[in-house]
Structure 1
Amino acid sequence: MDFTRELETIFQKSSFIAENHPDVLADFSDIIGGKYTVTRNDELYYEPKGKRIKLSMDESSSAVRSLLDIGFYLRHEAQIGDLLMVDEPELNLHPENQRRVARLFAQLVNLGIKVLITTHSDYIIKELNTLIMLNHDKPHLKQIAEKEGYRVEELISSEKIKVYIAEEASIILEGKKRKTKCQTLTPADIDPELGIEARSFDTTIETMNRIQEAIVWSEE
């Protein structure tokens, strides 16, 4: 509610990203396919790119609505050293836009903004892996990055990322001497060459691939 009441005031601000890194805003605009505008009466609209119409939030897609806060943060509030927390950014997004969101977050980290996300998206994890794997000074990797449209500012060092997997594991609880099985957060290995070990995703994907291979190659 505070955000809604202060829309007009927030809209008049300009973040360091808007001032110095317009490419980030252009990338976000590509994800939502347009931009947000606010009237003097604090009425919020979405303007699709290339169309002379304004849509209210009720008329806009679920993706446009779910990314609203991030859009305003990037353009009007972002400061170096911020902690941006996003719960399941993949919600309502096409897989291609999930990849774009991962690249957007990598840019923010490289600009000095800490980003904390929770996710069930294999697309986001795999795209982060790609950004890690391409972040090396090797001619063939530079050729791949250029061919596939990756920019240097999107690539990220494995040292800038930490991943924790929610899973059952045996740990020693505070005040106890023996290990107890419980749900906890386990640090995932991150290899500079191969990326993030997302075993919880990989197991499911391997199972699906095995079933489909059996369907395709099994004898009638």
Structure 2
Amino acid sequence: MVDADIDGRIKDPLELIRRKAGRYPWPIRDSLRTANDLANLKRQKSPFADLADELESSVLHGTISVADTGELRFAPNDNKDAQLEMHLTASVVKSLSSVVFYFRHLANPRDFIIIDEPELNLHPDNQRIITRILAKAARRGIKIMMSTHSDYVLRELNHLIMLSKLPEDEAKDMGYDPMWAIAPDRIGVYLFDEHTAKPVPIEETGFSIKTIDDVVDRLNADEQRLYARLLG
């Protein structure tokens, strides 16, 4: 029996979500059903919850929670009493809130997840951090397919590949967590060129993406020419 006012208005917000779900295409319906389930899912704790904590402390500088209505909320570290709805938060919070929820409540070893451009809305420092966190998740059993156009992400992946060849004590001396390391035979890289996917060779020092390297080389060459004109 649906809890409703005499005039027929539905009082239960979760029931309202269920009623509205049928009006939308399947992907949106799935999202609405997920919102309906969040209040229950938040009671679960994943073995990867520490990665959610790391994302919150290192990148978001605040905490993600779930309201009784199943909506995500964000509380900045400098104002824990503020429970901000997602549409009021910064783009980085919107982008990573679902990743935080996944790691805290849903993630399990042998999961397979797809992440499209994790660098979206992130400062270069934070791009390096999330690359390391994803590498740690992969080391602990989650299979990750990721697309990126970020030179920062690619270079950090190369660092983590090189890290796998260092003794743990040397890695720690350099400020790296050995759990970030990715062995060359544990990662696959593909370059999508128009309608084809070309495998990219991976060595002990990492890999090279020519289409991105060419742009970086042109930027450096232009910079040198401009310096020469200004200072020459």
Q: CA deviation at 1:138?
A: 4.7
* 1:4 corresponds to 2:35: yes
SS in 2 for 1:58: helix
1:146 is aligned, of 143, 151, 172, to: 172
Q: What is the match of residue 151 of structure 2?
A: 122
Q: What is the match of residue 165 of structure 1?
A: 191
The superposition leaves residues 129-173 of structure 1 with CA deviations (integer Å, 9 ceiling, x where unpaired) of 00111212358xx54x334421011111111110100125xxxxx
The superposition leaves residues 44-80 of structure 1 with CA deviations (integer Å, 9 ceiling, x where unpaired) of 2101124222211111001101112211110000011
Letter in 2 for 1:160: R
Q: What is the match of residue 35 of structure 1?
A: 63
Q: What is the match of residue 98 of structure 2?
A: 69
Bigger fraction of residues in strand: 1
CA RMSD of aligned residues (A): 1.7
Bigger fraction of residues in helix: 2
Q: What is the match of residue 12 of structure 2?
A: none
CA distance in 1, matches of 2:84, 2:126: 21
* 1:187 corresponds to 2:215: no
CA distance in 2, matches of 1:63, 1:9: 25
* 1:84 corresponds to 2:113: yes
Letter in 2 for 1:206: D
Number of residue-to-residue matches in the alignment: 198
Q: What is the match of residue 48 of structure 1?
A: 76
SS in 2 for 1:195: coil
Letter in 1 for 2:147: T
CA distance in 1, matches of 2:114, 2:167: 33
Q: CA deviation at 1:26?
A: 3.0
CA distance in 2, matches of 1:138, 1:109: 20
Q: Percent identity?
A: 32
**Larger of the two Rg values belongs to structure:** 2
CA distance in 1, matches of 2:166, 2:220: 33
TM-score by length of 1: 0.84
TM-score by length of 2: 0.80
Mean Cα deviation higher: 34-43 or 208-217: 34-43
SS in 1 for 2:182: coil
Q: What is the match of residue 96 of structure 1?
A: 125
Unmatched runs of 5 consecutive residues or more in structure 1: 169-182
